[in-house]
Amino acid sequence: MLTPVLLPLAGGTIALIVSIVHWRRVAWAVVLTAIFAAAVVMGLNAAQASAHALSSAPGTVIQVAGGWSERAGIVIVMDTAGVVLGPVVLIVAFLILLTAAGQRQFGSVFAGVAAITVAAMTGVILSGDLFNLFVFFEALSLGAVILIAWERRGPALYAALRYLVVGTVSIAFYLIGLLLVYRSTGELAIHRIIPILAGSEVTRGTTVGLGCMLAAVATRGAILPFHGWLPAAHGEAPAPVSALLSGLMLKSALVALWRISTIVRVAAPQLLETLLVLGALSAVAGAFAAALESDAKRVLAFSSISQMGYLVTALAVGAREAMLYHAVGHALFKSTLFLVIGAAVSRAGSHQLSEIGRVNRRDGYPWIEGPVLLIGALAVAGAPGFSGFAGKQLIGAALYSSPAAYLALRIAALGTVTATMRLLLVYGNGRPRFSGAPMTTTAALAALAAAILWHGGQHLHLVSPAATVEFLIILGVAAAMVALSRIPRFWQFVTTPGRIRPGMDAVIVSVLAGIILLIR
């Protein structure tokens, strides 16, 4: 079961070695083959484990690497989260890197680092004990820092440094939490910790430890108020890196939250109530921050914070099936949107929506981008019949017992639709042209668009007249908000708070405040 980690790791290592002789095509061929093979192996493992994992408690399908005991070895788990998200992460990573392979600026070293980062994501998804989660998260952080700073521009370097510092602070608290939990249970394997804590009185130290670990993983998942690193990191990174970070890396953090929440649910369920509140706040704040942004990539970055809020609220109330469905949808449509908007940003030489629209009108854009952007935008906006609609309907149904959170997600939908309409407008008056996009990019975008449509079709029965009318009302209000954005002085006044860029000290203080909130 560790093979899906070892294959991308080996492919990345070979790519770094052949970079010495500048064999770019060989490096990319090895990396793409390794990740595709890892996806196949992960799919086979998921098929074998699904009968057990989908009908039993998390952590029932377990292996220990190398034949060691569970206490000494690397515990590998194929639970529901691994069965669903493991193959998706590797397949989408393959498609994202396929687009990068067709761009000359991404050479052998980039291919190697990206493959190792994918291996670390896969390791997080398969980890069955708390210490191995730490190890894979650290490997993932190092790869992400390199990829964010890849273009070596000042803002990108600063964004990478901010991510590194915030990640270091959060992982320090994770280790503190790990120490406290280990001290009270004597175990690191999650499936062994749960019965110990369920059958004994939970101490204050254990609760604090679980709160520290939840906060640390919530930082990697960019949940409010742990989110400050994400807009700059996703906004300044190259398009394939932004797609990897937003579409996939956040899902590995979600899987880690899933695993830790299984302990929290039996030992300190009050922490999940706090997580529910933070998830609802993330959904609303991220959606409206995206709606008021003028930087195209930051629009998508804030939208990711909002979508993670949806996922965390579902996790907090135990709606795991709904969470996993929406997580798969988010991996597909957000990766797609980052690839399309990233290509538009590169052509325009600017992140500003207005400038991208001007360049699209003047020079046109590759024909594949228009329909793919429309499909991705309809999905993230929650249009009836698309995956975002079904995911939000399933999560909303699970939140009927939490009316405040339910209302928050309905309000967040307005911000999401507004942000999506502003993205679509940059292509509204442009003219498509049948040249300019590499074949690998065209193939990858077409595959992602097809996957989005297929995924949305799994729950067409949720489309109802009432839900359609609700979406049309939201669409009308969003259109009015977009119309107001054409009034310069009004929009300048409304978006003034959004132009404030918090420094690293403010981001760290925000993380510390969130940790205190969870362990209070």
Provide the token pair at 199: 């059958």
Q: How many degrees, rounded to 5, is the angle at CA 343 between CA 300 and CA 439?
A: 130
Within a domain: 197 = yes
- In the chain, what percentage of residues exceed pLDDT 90? 55
Please check whether residue 365 is in contact with residue 344, taking contact to mean a CB–CB distance below 8 angstroms. yes
Q: What type of residue sits at position 225? A: P
Beta-carbon contacts of residue 460 (< 8 Å; ≥ 6 apart): 385
pLDDT class for 60, splitting at 50, 70, 90?
low
Range of the domain at 66: 1-126
Q: Is the pLDDT of residue 505 over 90?
A: no
Which of residues 126, 161, 177 is at a domain's end? Answer: 126
Q: Say if residue 67 is in the same domain as residue 194.
A: no
Lowest mean pLDDT among 197-206, 212-221, 309-318: 197-206
Q: How many degrees, rounded to 5, is the angle at CA 346 between CA 296 and CA 96?
A: 85
Alpha-carbon distance of 480 to 172, in angstroms, equals 46
Q: Say if residue 324 is in the same domain as residue 353.
A: yes
Give the three-state DSSP class for 413: helix
Alpha-carbon distance of 480 to 476, in angstroms, equals 6
CB atoms within 10 A of CB 228: 24
Q: How many degrees, rounded to 5, is the angle at CA 61 between CA 329 and CA 260?
A: 60
Give me the pLDDT at residue 426, please. 86
Within a domain: 399 = yes
Q: Say if residue 332 is in the same domain as residue 294.
A: yes
> Between 67 and 107, whose confidence is greater?
107
Within a domain: 115 = yes
Q: Is the pLDDT of residue 131 over 60?
A: yes
Within a domain: 408 = yes
**DSSP alpha helix (H) spans, 317-368:** 320-348, 353-363
Within a domain: 405 = yes
Alpha-carbon distance of 2 to 16, in angstroms, equals 22
Maximum Cα–Cα distance for the chain, whole Å?
A: 69
Within a domain: 142 = no
Give me the pLDDT at residue 246, please. 87
Give me the pLDDT at residue 498, please. 65
Alpha-carbon distance of 14 to 28, in angstroms, equals 10
246: which DSSP letter? Answer: I
Which of residues 92, 126, 160 is at a domain's end? Answer: 126
| DSSP-derived secondary structure for 60-99 | -SEEEGGG--TTTS-EEE--HHHHHHHHHHHHHHHHHHHH
Q: Is the pLDDT of residue 59 over 50?
A: no
Beta-carbon contacts of residue 401 (< 8 Å; ≥ 6 apart): 317
Q: Say if residue 105 is in the same domain as residue 59.
A: yes
Q: Say if residue 415 is in the same domain as residue 367.
A: yes
pLDDT tens for 328-342 read 999 999 999 999 998
Please check whether residue 212 is in contact with residue 264, taking contact to mean a CB–CB distance below 8 angstroms. no
Q: Say if residue 109 is in the same domain as residue 157.
A: no
Q: Say if residue 61 is in the same domain as residue 72.
A: yes
> Between 26 and 505, whose confidence is greater?
26
Q: Say if residue 118 is in the same domain as residue 241.
A: no
Q: Say if residue 116 is in the same domain as residue 234.
A: no
pTM confidence score: 0.93
Alpha-carbon distance of 301 to 282, in angstroms, equals 12
Q: Say if residue 335 is in the same domain as residue 461.
A: yes
Beta-carbon contacts of residue 390 (< 8 Å; ≥ 6 apart): 325, 329, 456, 458, 459, 462
Closest CA to 120 of 84, 146, 99: 146
Closest CA to 439 of 108, 30, 107, 102: 102
Beta-carbon contacts of residue 423 (< 8 Å; ≥ 6 apart): 296, 299, 300, 337, 341, 353, 373, 377
Q: Is the pLDDT of residue 210 over 90?
A: yes
pLDDT tens for 21-39 read 888 899 999 999 999 999 9
pLDDT tens for 260-306 read 999 999 988 999 999 999 999 999 999 999 998 888 999 999 999 99
Give the three-state DSSP class for 349: coil
Burial class (CB in 10 A: 0-12, 13-18, 19+), 344: buried
Residue with tokens 């998260």: 137
191-211 burial, b for 16+ CB within 10 Å, e for fewer? bbbbebbeeeeeeeebbbbbb
Q: Say if residue 440 is in the same domain as residue 361.
A: yes
pLDDT tens for 404-419 read 999 999 999 999 999 9
Q: Say if residue 472 is in the same domain as residue 324.
A: yes
Q: What type of residue sits at position 9? A: L
Which of residues 94, 126, 158 is at a domain's end? Answer: 126
Q: Average pLDDT over the chain, rounded to whole? A: 88
Within a domain: 92 = yes
Mean pLDDT calculated for residue range 46-56: 63
Within a domain: 494 = no
Alpha-carbon distance of 274 to 402, in angstroms, equals 13
Closest CA to 270 of 226, 183, 206: 206
How many domains would you assign to the chain?
A: 3
